[in-house]
Amino acid sequence: MIRATLPRLPLRALACAAMASVVLAGCVNLAPAYETPASPVPSALPSAGITTATPIDIGWRDFFVDKQLQGVIELALANNRDLRVAALNIERARAQYGIARADLFPTVNAGAAGTRSRTPGSLSTSGESRIASQYSANLGMTAYELDLFGRVRNLGDSALQSYFQTEETQRSTQISLVASVATAWLQLAADEQRLQLARSTLESQRKSFELVQRSHALGAQSGLALAQSQSTVDAARADAAAFDSQVEQDRNALALLVGTTPPPELLPTAATTADVAQLLVPPAGLSSNVLQQRPDVRAAEHALRASNADIGAARAAFFPRIALTASAGTASSTLSGLFTSGSKAWSFAPSISVPIFDGGANRANLQVAQAQQKIQIATYEKAVQTAFREVADALAERRTLAERLDAQRSLRAATARSFELSQSLFKSGAANYLDVLDAQRSDYAAQQTLIGLQLTEQTNRLAIYKALGGGWSEASGAAPQPSQGE
């Protein structure tokens, strides 16, 4: 009866040892309780001084109303190499988490072995040579750690938070990419307008020069007026050439961001003057806690959570480790008898390791983990402060943009009228050509400034959208939700 029950013991022992990981793993968690640091910024976002209150979780396809710009952004999301690297980093982090999580479970292997050996008679106790055979087949696990103090679980939690951090970093990368592509596209549109203005001004200057040249030939204009007219033509030529080069550089910069050359039908022209993006301004009194949903802030928080778990793993190193090694199977001196009755074999070898002296390595590792946690707290707080400043700066600029644009449009109308009047007076002989040149330069400068200010207004809309965490989701209401396990 005893022989009948003994073979069953190893199977039960192996099963119990395997289940011990579920029962005993993580019995104690030495990681400090996580608390989100207090927000180091005012409780409410600053007001823009206007009443627009569009939801801030609008998708980028709904935010950018220009179809050409939508197409360019779509190309960038499919081809940009930085975004590809960010996506591949997620795959790597997911795999690393899988490796860390696997340590929570015992590794069970199946094995089979066979040996034959011959002992010569001179070494045999019987004086005769002897051939010995041994065959075995078993299931076993080696040095599985019972996670009594949460060391393995905390290492797994740290890897999980690093994975979540990588996910948020990818989202932040996409937001930056969408913003950069839109900014480059808008810059190209503005420089196309500047180029067209420079070329039209050059054409006007050439006509004026021809008029002055004929007048000089008839003795009606001095050589000084002719030289001044020539200088304005050359200045306009230089401006046109410079903007022509700038437009080509803008196209190259846009192609780099997109990851491929955008087709001509998706590029802006000098006629692209309409609003290409919606105006999104948070309502007055909106809580600054909304900034905690920005991917870069969320990534910083996941890094802080990972540092908390690292402290738990470092603390667990001060406590004993229990490891289990066990196997169960069959063994026989003949291959045919491997699975016959009475061939069952088993082994069970638990071990315990108690840290006594390590030269201060465990204490140093704990100090490193605690210092890293403090670093991550400061990093998180800096991310929140940076987010608040970006929103505040964009809203501060928004408060005066309407007035600046209105003033610049009025100024441009005045310089255009002044130029027109100076030409009429010059043709009637009531003014000299220098007055015409001054009025033309003022009108040209006013138009260039107006183009730049219109670009500023459009990029400001984009800055507010980006600062509030927009640009990740494609459609409205599709903002990313917290990952499982947070």
3-state SS string over 177-237?
Answer: HHHHHHHHHHHHHHHHHHHHHHHHHHHHHHHHHHHHHHHHHCCCCCHHHHHHHHHHHHHHH
- Any bridge partners for residue 44, and if so which? 287
111: helix, coil or strand?
strand
> Residue written as tokens 């590794």?
107
| Nearest partner of 211 among 443, 419, 436, judged by Cα | 436
What is the CB-side half-sphere exposure of residue 37 using CA atoms within 13 A?
25
* Helix, strand or coil, per DSSP, at residue 147: coil
CA separation for the pair 164, 309 (Å, rounded): 14
Q: Does residue 302 contact residue 168 with C-beta atoms inside 8 Å?
A: yes
Strand 130-146 to strand 108-119: parallel, antiparallel, or no bridges (unpaired)? Answer: antiparallel
Q: For residue 473, what pLDDT is reported?
A: 85
User: For tokens 């192609």, what's the residue?
Assistant: 255
Q: What is the pLDDT of residue 329?
A: 85
| DSSP-assigned beta bridge partners for residue 332 | 135
Across the strands, what pairs with 139?
110, 328
Half-sphere CA count of 50, side-chain side, radius 13 A: 17
Tally of CB atoms within 10 A around 308: 21
Start-to-end C-alpha separation, the chain: 54
Return the closest-CA partner of residue 432 out of 266, 225, 202. Answer: 225
SS3 213: helix
Per-residue pLDDT of the chain (486 residues; tens, 9 = 90+): 333 333 343 445 444 544 544 444 446 889 999 999 998 999 888 877 665 545 567 889 989 999 999 999 999 999 999 999 999 999 999 999 999 988 888 888 888 888 888 888 777 777 788 888 888 888 888 888 888 899 999 999 999 999 999 999 999 999 999 999 999 999 999 999 999 999 998 988 888 777 777 777 777 677 777 787 788 888 889 999 999 999 999 999 999 999 999 999 999 988 876 788 888 888 778 888 889 889 999 999 999 999 999 999 999 999 999 998 988 888 887 777 777 887 888 888 889 999 998 899 999 999 999 999 999 999 999 999 999 999 999 999 999 999 999 999 999 999 999 999 988 887 777 777 788 888 989 999 999 999 999 999 999 999 999 998 888 888 776 545 444 444
